[in-house]
Structure 1
Amino acid sequence: MEPIPGYETTKQTITAGSGPVVAKGDTVTVHATGIVEEGNKKFWSTKDPGQQPFTYQAGVGKVITGWDQGCLGMNVGETRKLRIPAHEGYGAGGFPAWGIPPGGTLLFEIEVLSIKGKGGEL
């Protein structure tokens, strides 16, 4: 795992992608699976039955800090692992509704499916 400059979240590329990269302000659609490191318990996956890919606006604080910063620079088709400490995730309060305990460290595997920049599909 390598550090993300200025953050404690770390990243590791699992599968390289190609083409456009995720930049601040882009609309990004991903497959994602989240696990609480303490206990190794999955709390969410877009690949589970009945779930769909997740779409968000990158780099502008619409998702937790570790995810927001950890996905910048990813290419379409890239799969990356992120390890997000609590203070860059859901913090001291956790997210009990999803089974994330107070101070929980999060592990995400994220695959970029598409990127739409301000001018449309990239």
Structure 2
Amino acid sequence: MATKVEGYETTMLITKAGQGVGIRRGDKATVHATGVVKETGKKFWSTKDPGQSPFSYQAGVGQVITGWDQGCLGMTVGEERQLVIPAKEGYGAAGFPAWGIPAGGTLMFTLECLAIEGKDR
């Protein structure tokens, strides 16, 4: 059953457990990610597509959309998680037309944590 990310409207569902210490604010996280627009069912991005590679970012500091940034905190290596991100915690009222994300679009991400780098690791 999906649960809300504390303090946000984004929901998460862990579909496969991982192990180790989870992603913390400031860590460099590397993930596989597939994003779909909930309203249309259209995939707009996947790191598993030909020519793509895993995505790395610094967690919890605003380098990615809010729902993703907060929804991946605590994720462990090997874990798979689904996030449903409302527009206000995604690309907002403007959407992201270049990627086919409509104004006010809700995003669904399937994520797999591949690696975590940070202090005390």
Counterpart residue type for residue 39 of structure 1: T
Aligned equivalents of 2:21, 2:119: Cα separation in 1: 13
What TM-score comes out, normalization by structure 2 length? 0.97
How many Å apart are 1:118 and its aligned residue?
Answer: 3.1
How many Å apart are 1:5 and its aligned residue?
Answer: 1.1
Aligned ranges 1:1-122 → 2 under 5 Å: 1-118=2-119, 122=121
What TM-score comes out, normalization by structure 1 length? 0.96
Aligned equivalents of 1:78, 1:86: Cα separation in 2: 25
Structure 1 regions of 5+ residues with no counterpart?
none
How many residue pairs get aligned? The number is 120
Q: Which runs of 4+ in 1 moved over 2 A?
A: none
Structure 2 regions of 5+ residues with no counterpart?
none
How many Å apart are 1:66 and its aligned residue?
Answer: 0.1
Q: Percent identity?
A: 67
